[in-house]
Every structure is written in C-alpha cells, then in structure tokens.
Structure 1
Amino acid sequence: MYIPIPLLRPQPDASLSLAAIPAMLLARLLTLLPFFTLPLPITSLSLAGPRQASVDSFVASESSIALAGVLANIGPDGAKCEGAASGVVLASPSTTSPDYDYEWIRDASLVNKLLIDRYTQGRDGSLQGTIESWISSMAIIQQVPNPSGNVSTGGLGEPKFNPDMTAFTGAWGRPQRDGPALRAIAMMTYASYKLGQGNTSYVQDVLWPSISLDLGYVAQNWNQTGFDLWEELDGSSFFTILSQFRALHQAAPFASQYEDSGTASAWAEQAGNILCFLQSFWDSSASYALANINLASTRSGLDANTVLASIHAFDPEAGCDAATFQPCSDKALANHKAVVDSFRGLYGLNSQYGPDQAVAIGRYQEDVYYNGNPWYLATLAAAEQLYASLYTWASQSSLTVTATSEPFFAQFLSSVAPGTYSASTSEYATITAGAKSMADGFVAIVQQYIGPAGGLSEQFDKSSGAPTSAVDLTWSYASFLTMADARAGLVPASWGASSATVPTGTCQPGPQPPMVQLTFVEDAKTTYGQNVFLTGSISQLSDWSTTDAVALSSASYPDWQVTVSVPAGATFQYKFIKVENGEVTWESDPNREYTAPSSGSATVNDTWR
C-alpha cells in the first residue's frame, strides 16, 4: 500500500542531558503533606502496597492542583502564560532548558478534550469561556502559513506555534499528523453537546468549518508518514493512526449533515482503510503493538505511545474490542504488560518493586532525552488504562481471558486460564482487585515523586526521583485529571467505536498525493571510480538507504544531476553521498531540508560540503 517509508536521520539530533538535583525523601514528604485533605502518615507512601486511603486522598487533593495547573498555562489570563493570546494552551512556562513556551496542537487538543468532557458532563460550568476561546484561536491558527505549508498545502500538519499564534519557523520534526485529528475529535465532542442543547448555528458557523478542514487533511494525508508524538521518528505512528481513524469514524453523523454525500462517503471509506492499516502494527510473535512502522529503526517498538493511543480511543460502549484497541481488549492488555515490563529493570528507582507491581514508566526503553527518565504522563497513562478496563468489566459484569491476554491476567491470578469469568466468580474478584491495586500503584509512584506544592513536571529522575525537564507541563496535569476521572468511573462520551468493522480483503492504500518533478544538481569533485548518490527521508529518496540511493549523472561534471518525482508540498531532508567500491562518504552535517512546490517543477542546486 502507499506509505512512503522513511528512515531515521543518519545523524540524529543530539540528546540533552541534565543532571537532576538530588532531593531528600523527607523534604519531599514535608513539602507534600500540607496539600492532603486527610492526615497522611509517612508510612502510607510505601509503594509496595499503597493504602487505599492514601491514594484516595492524594487523588482528591492533587486533582484541584492539576486543574489549576492546566488553567495557569492557558492565555490570556493564565497565571503562568504572560503574553499568550486568548485560548492558546502553552505546553509549559519553561522558556529555557528546555524551551516549551509554545502551543503544540496535539497537547492543546488533548487538554481541551479533557476540559470539554468536564464541561459537557456538567462538572464545571466555568470552563465554557476557556473552551470557546481555544476554538476561536484554532480557527485563526489553521489559516497561518507556516513551514509545513498553508491551510490547503499541508500547513495543518504543523506541530507548534508561538504564544502569539504566529508561525514557529525554526527547524523541527514536521509534519506531525496527529494534531488535526485530535483537534477535530475535541471539537466534535463539543459539537455533539451543542447540538444536544439546540445550538445548531454555533456548530454550523463556528465549529464545523474548522472540523471540516482537519478531517479533510486527515482523509487526504493519513497514508503519508510524519513525525511521531515524541517528535523524533518520521514514519507511521500507532498513536497517530488510531487518532486519525477515530476522527474520521466519529465524523460520520456530522458529515452526513454538513458535507455533500461524496465527501461523507470518501471519509467513511478512508476510515475503513485506516482501521485496516492499524491492524498491521500488531506484532503477534511478541504480543504487543509496534509504536512506529515504515521506518528504519533499531528500537524494540515498545513505547508508551501505544498505551496513550488506547486510553485516548476509549469508548465506554465499545466493550473490549481489539480492532480499535480498547483498553480492556486482549491486545491492549498484552501490550500494557509488555510496555510496563520493558521499564522494570531500566530505572534505578524501579528496583524497589516486585515483578508484578507497578513501576515508573517512561516513553520507551531506548530514550536518552534528558538522560532517559520516567514521565509523569506515561506512568499515569498506565494507571488510566487499567481503570478504564475495570470500568468496562464492571459494566459488562464479566471479563474474558484469551491466549493473548493470559500473561497479563496471570499477574493477578497465576492459575488463570482462557475463558470468561462473570462478576460473581472468585477469579473475577481476585483479578479486578489485583488490577485495581496495580493501577493505584502507578498513581502512588507519582504521589511519591511529585514536585513541590503538587507540581507536575515532564519527567522525574530515574535514580533520585527528583522532578526534571520542563516544569508545570500542561499535558502532565491533564493526564492526572483524565486518570482521576477514569478511576472515579467518569468516562467520556461514546464516539461510535462499537460500529467500527475492519474491511475484509486487502487493505486499500488511500488517496495518492500529486507529484512534482525536482531536479537535483550537486557540484562535487570526485576521484576516478567515485560516484555521487542522493538519499533522504522520503521513499522517493530511498529512505536514507546507502545501498539503494538515487544515482546522479556526471554528464555535466563537476555538476552531478538527477530528476526525481516527489509528493507535491512535501518537506523532507536529504544528503549527498560519494560511493567507491562500496565505501560510503557522507557530506558534512547538517541534513539538508527542502519543501517541494505544490505544482510544476523545480531545480535544487547544492555544492558538496
């Protein structure tokens, strides 16, 4: 099927390393104690068996802190986002080491989906203005020309913007194709509420124009690669693909009302194609979902990416459906165990936990960013998936064990065998109690290593547990709140996942992008026997391969030349190499970058360096 197959940049970005400042455990406890609504004895922080009351009181007290943390980072009135435009959601107030003083479309959309759920469920009426300011700001940002293009040439895939809603023009991993899908999901959730209130004009005049743009982008571009949610790998990301499927599937009732029949039918067709493609991420031999495919990578594929994908696709009416990777599906549970187990021996602070207990979770085991630490949002996501599973099992009064999920359930009942266990059985009671205890264990880890005054940074040090990287990360706070909701059984509205079916037969490739002709001319002096080749980050440039690189002609030496068809509007990286008798010489850093025109042809002139 048509999926450009890029590979990793030959010279990956240098990873940051920041020495965490050790913090005494007693000092951390004393900082935390004033914020608990119930007396909290120090012994209750033992993570081997956290007391129910301790976790209950922590969730209750931290929830208000987390909501305040989210709102403090939303412009224009947030306490920690001075200068941010109305509705803009800053990732963090941190401006140096690292600089997160931007609005990421992914982060902002996930945050506003949380706020929309709270508002539409009648839990916080004060959020309406915040939500609608964000919706208005997104309509502006969609129209801002940026390095990924404009609104009609790929600009919707731009990952982040400045606090004043102007384009960020620095080098970055772009495009990132999850943003439009997540933004559409949040806005469609709000649209459903508005329609239920009879406010059709707001949906038609304000919401739908933005939603339609994003859905059109998803339908047209889902089968093209882009950077993952960690902004590091250029390929096909499980998190992105599942989000794209949800967006187009959730759109069906809206499309039939607000779009012509041809568009509605095309979106439905692409939703089926995406769901079909999603199944190819499953590694049946290892029993987990690969986080990224269609790229050259030495990583295992075990990544919190897939756990996050599952919780953000949770549909309380879809049961334990495996095709849509519902949290309690056998595949999602097997994946949960595989991801969690990959971190057990990775961090020094995880040595205190037993083989079937919760541990601190990071992004992926090969991570080196800030020396590769646990992340609060990843640890909370591991808890949230279990809480969502417990909700579904309770709703259907049973749980089912398959050969795929048996190792997951064996963590709580070693004698478990494949079969369905009703809520009246002792097996059900033992398993659900064990899953609840593990979920609370993840929360207790966050409880122990939380920052001063309940602050949630991006990461906590893998040895000392001290908070590190960006302070007051909005996504960390939002993750705490979605976890707390799942723990309390406050689930999001259904998005129709129960009606999704994987198309039979061969997966269809989806829409093909228009192509343009690029002529590359490289001024390069060579020795006898040397030849010049071109390779880069898209399939048309051989996905950084040196063995299958594109050969240039020396007919106009010292100018070497070749003409290649590439997707119109595509932004890609590339380099020239010299090859002699199999020996490869790369030109010097950095990688070159180019954005193809939207039509016609172009010549790219370079000189060997």
Structure 2
Amino acid sequence: MTFSVASQQDPAFEPWLERQLSHSASAMLASISPVSLVKHRPGFGQTLRPLVGAVVASPVLGNYDPDPDYFFHWFRDSAVVIDALRLLYVERRIGDEALQHLRDFTRFSLALNGLDGRAVAAVQGRRARVAPELLQYLREDHDLARIHGDAVVAETRVNPDGTLDTLRWARPQHDGPPLRALSLLRWAAAGHLDAALLAEVTPLIRFDIDFTLRHWREPSYDIWEEESGHHYYTLRVAGAALAEGAAWLEGLGDTTQAQRCREESQAVLRLLDDYWVDERDEQDDRDATRGYYRSRVLADDRPSPKALDIAVILSAIHSLGTEAAHGPADPRMQATLARLDALFDAAYPINHGRAAGRGAAMGRYAGDVYCSGGAYYFSTLGAAEFCFRAAAMGGDARQWLERGDAYLATVRAYTPDSGDLSEQFDQRSGAQTSAKQLAWSHAAFISCASARRIAGAACQAPRGR
C-alpha cells in the first residue's frame, strides 16, 4: 500500500507483514481442533484429548514451568479465533476447510450446553485422585453443582475434551456468548454458509443472543478474569451482539425478539455513556474529550487501579458497530487510547528512547503484575487496529494510518524471525514471556492486517464533496 509511511521508509515492511500474516494464519490454525495433542495434568489425575471443534488458547503444553497452562477452550478466545478464521476465508488464505472448522466449532459449542456439574460433583473419590498439595486449587462440590444450564457458558473456560474445568478460577464471565454471537453473525451475514451449515449455526446464535438478553445486567468477571463487577468491555460486546442480533432476527421474521434486542442494545449504550470520566478543570472546560472511558464499575462503586484499561479499546474493535459512539470514530474513545498510550509510554522501559517510527508497546493497565506485566501483543495490535478502523471511518485518515503503522513497527521489532507470538513481550528486555504461540495474539495480527487493508482501500477510494 503506497500510502504507508512505514512502507516508504522501509521497503521491507510490507514483505514482513505478508510473511507474518502467513505465519500467524498457520499458527492460529494449530489451536483449532488440536486432536493430535494430549495434555497430562498428573497432579489432578487428568489426561485430556481434545475433541474436534475445540479451540485451545495455546497449543504449547505449559505447566507453569514457567510457561502457564493455557490448554483450555476459553469462550472469549475461541470466539476471537473463529472470527479471525472468517477473515482468512474471506481473503482466500484458507479454503473450504474453514467451513469445516466452523461446523466442528458449532457442534462442539452446542454440546457443551449439556454439561452438568452436578454429575461431576457426585463422582466418588474425585478428590482422592488429586495430589494433596494441589487440593487447594480444586473446586468444591457445591461450586460444581451450580454449573448447569446457562451457567455452563458463563464458566470462562472448559477443557478441550468437552468436560468442565474442575480447577478454581474466576467465574462467572459473560463476554463469551456475545462475542461468539458476533463472530457467527458475521459468518452468516457474509453469505458463505450453505443451508445445511446455516441450520447448524442458527441455534447457537439464538442461544447466545438469548443468554445475553438474560444476563447482560448482571455482574461478572472482567476480560482479564481478575475483578467482579460491571465491565465496559463485556457491556460493549453485549450491546453489539444485541444490535446485530436484532437485524438478524428481523430478517428471520422474529420481529418481537428483534425489537427486544434493539431496545436492550440501546440501554447498554446509554449505560456506557456514564462510564466516561470527565477530567476537565474549572480553568478549561471547553474540551469535552478531556478524560477517558473507565473500564469497570465495582461493587459499591469502589475505585479500581485498573480503571484505565486497554480492554476499552479492544471492545471497540471487537464490536465494530456502524455508529460512531463507543467505537473507533468516537472522540472520547480516541481520547482513551491517547491516555493509554501515554501511560505505557512512560511506564515501560522499552518505550523510552525508541526508534523513530515506532509506537508505544502497549499493556493492559497500570501496575499489571501477571508474568512480566506486559507489554502484550494483542494490546499493541489492538491499538494498531483501532487506528486503522478510525482511518477507514473518516477524519484524518493519513494520521491514523501512520499511528497504526507505528504500533505495527513495534510489534515487528519484538517479533522473532520465526514469526512466533507469545502472550507478552517483556517491558524491559522485549523478550517473549507468558504463554507461547497464543492463539489470540495470532488472531489479533490477522484482524489488524485485515483492518489495515480496509483502511488503505477506503483512503484511496474517491470521496464525494
């Protein structure tokens, strides 16, 4: 794309993008239906053989040695991956095997709805198979016994063999169903599904929309599975799923449910308006974008050090609504990105004195202590994608494209020649840390590259007066 400043300054930039896109496509596909892998958790008496249709967060078999154990089917991560799979299919980087992956994912997901924790809790000797020092991580029977019906898809994650996760974790989490609905609705809207596959996908879309209608007002854990409350990210994707679901239901002739979805989606957006933190002072109250969208509202409205969180930016690119509000074209959302950029620019040593043309390596929130505490590939790629989406929606397109390419240049600087992407790259050394070959990292690259192409085409298209 000749508009790219990065391309003009470095002729190797575009070839790198293409190579990395090919590698990320192959690496992400390794997490879908990884049936050749077997995961042993001997301390818990578990041997897991993934089923067709499962999507593991990472196909690398870590055991906190030091790589974390990400051999689970996360509802959120799997939805992000299946949406990136759609992009690969639309752009003809993968053939009809993508449709089989979608069919397998749909069947696997629907089968999960039949899980019942009461049966698991009733198994005799369940605790005897667990090493004594690991019993502290095992869920209690009363906790498992609550998991049936809607509670299954609020589990955050399940084992890739289609069984419930019996380990203690942050639950419930309500972002999975709306994200999955959004991914499937996009598959359906693109017209790529034949009647048979559409008939299989439809019940899952309906389930996810209905779940979202029933539960979006309830507190749940945030995208990072750390704090329970009401979260901008979860609410934003819920609102988007209900809005797109309304249009889909309207097309099916279900006008009553479509109207309900539309009304609830508008209620979500009105609620999110109140997440704006106005930082104007008495001396200068003219700038209505001086502030940021806070990421969460906790019980009793107690403050959280994680209020400024990249999750808000990720919600904009995962939702992709047509309205400006709470999306990349929203000046307040753009102000939130600016605040996050300044935060990580100051906090991360690798951002100090960085080369010209590179953007800030981005993390999650201030004071993050998980593994290296950031930076994160999906955060930095998410910031880049946000810029490309903003460019495509008008405004100062060239400036947004330059900003997006600057974030991508930073990703390039900390990506090895192999193209492998972990979850994090260390904020001091830039070395890869946390889970290796994270499917979400590769999906984020695929989505970012697609957004960049869309932005380029939009900027080169003739515009009317």
Q: If the length of structure 1 is used for normalisation, what is the TM-score?
A: 0.62
- Mapped partners of 2:356, 2:222: distance in 1: 30
461, 467, 484: which one pairs with 2:432?
467
3, 11, 33: which one pairs with 1:53?
11
Against the structure 1 CA distance between its residues 94 and 362, is the aligned structure 2 distance closer, same or farther, given a 3 Å change threshold?
farther
More strand per residue: 1 or 2? 1
- Note the residue ranges of structure 2 that are not aligned, 5 or more in a row: 40-47, 118-143, 280-289, 457-465
- CA positional deviation for 1:354: 8.2
Q: 1:95 matched to which residue of 2?
A: 62
Q: Structure 1: which amino acid aligns with 2:438?
A: L
- Mapped partners of 1:186, 1:70: distance in 2: 16
SS at match of 1:344: helix
Q: Does the CA-based 8 Å contact 2:348-2:428 persist in structure 1?
A: yes
Q: Does the CA-based 8 Å contact 1:241-1:278 persist in structure 2?
A: yes
204, 214, 221: which one pairs with 2:215?
221
- Mapped partners of 2:356, 2:17: distance in 1: 25
Against the structure 1 CA distance between its residues 260 and 64, is the aligned structure 2 distance closer, same or farther, given a 3 Å change threshold?
closer
| Range that drifts further, 302-311 or 328-337 | 328-337
Q: Structure 1: which amino acid aligns with 2:51?
A: A
99, 106, 126: which one pairs with 1:128?
99
In the alignment, structure 1 residue 250 sits paired with structure 2 residue 244:
yes
Q: Structure 1: which amino acid aligns with 2:249?
A: A
Q: 1:445 matched to which residue of 2?
A: 410
Q: 1:458 matched to which residue of 2?
A: 423
More helix per residue: 1 or 2? 2
Q: 2:292 matched to which residue of 1?
A: 288
In the alignment, structure 1 residue 306 sits paired with structure 2 residue 312:
yes
Against the structure 1 CA distance between its residues 451 and 165, is the aligned structure 2 distance closer, same or farther, given a 3 Å change threshold?
farther
Counting only pairs closer than 5 Å after superposition, residues 480-559 of structure 1 correspond to structure 2 as 480-489=445-454
Against the structure 1 CA distance between its residues 78 and 490, is the aligned structure 2 distance closer, same or farther, given a 3 Å change threshold?
farther
Q: Structure 1: which amino acid aligns with 2:332?
A: K
Report the number of matched residues: 402
- CA positional deviation for 1:214: 1.4
- Identity fraction in percent: 27
Counting only pairs closer than 5 Å after superposition, residues 354-503 of structure 1 correspond to structure 2 as 358-393=359-394, 399=395, 428=396, 432-451=397-416, 453-489=418-454
Q: Structure 1: which amino acid aligns with 2:262?
A: A
Deviation sequence 1:239-267 (CA, Å, 0-9, x none)? 11010001111011332355755433332
Q: If the length of structure 2 is used for normalisation, what is the TM-score?
A: 0.80
Deviation sequence 1:5-29 (CA, Å, 0-9, x none)? xxxxxxxxxxxxxxxxxxxxxxxxx
SS at match of 1:353: coil
Q: Does the CA-based 8 Å contact 2:6-2:13 persist in structure 1?
A: no
- CA positional deviation for 1:53: 2.1
Q: 2:348 matched to which residue of 1?
A: 347
In the alignment, structure 1 residue 112 sits paired with structure 2 residue 82:
yes
Q: 2:267 matched to which residue of 1?
A: 273
Q: Structure 1: which amino acid aligns with 2:407?
A: F
What's the RMSD between the two structures over aligned residues?
2.8
Deviation sequence 1:134-189 (CA, Å, 0-9, x none)? 11111111222244845534322111011201000211111110001011111122
Q: Does the CA-based 8 Å contact 1:83-1:164 persist in structure 2?
A: yes
In the alignment, structure 1 residue 84 sits paired with structure 2 residue 50:
yes
Against the structure 1 CA distance between its residues 236 and 52, is the aligned structure 2 distance closer, same or farther, given a 3 Å change threshold?
farther
- Mapped partners of 2:201, 2:455: distance in 1: 25
Q: Does the CA-based 8 Å contact 2:237-2:315 persist in structure 1?
A: yes
Deviation sequence 1:186-220 (CA, Å, 0-9, x none)? 112222245x76x44543x4122111111111111
Against the structure 1 CA distance between its residues 184 and 477, is the aligned structure 2 distance closer, same or farther, given a 3 Å change threshold?
same
- CA positional deviation for 1:490: 7.5
SS at match of 1:171: coil
Against the structure 1 CA distance between its residues 479 and 329, is the aligned structure 2 distance closer, same or farther, given a 3 Å change threshold?
same
SS at match of 1:283: strand
- Mapped partners of 1:433, 1:272: distance in 2: 32
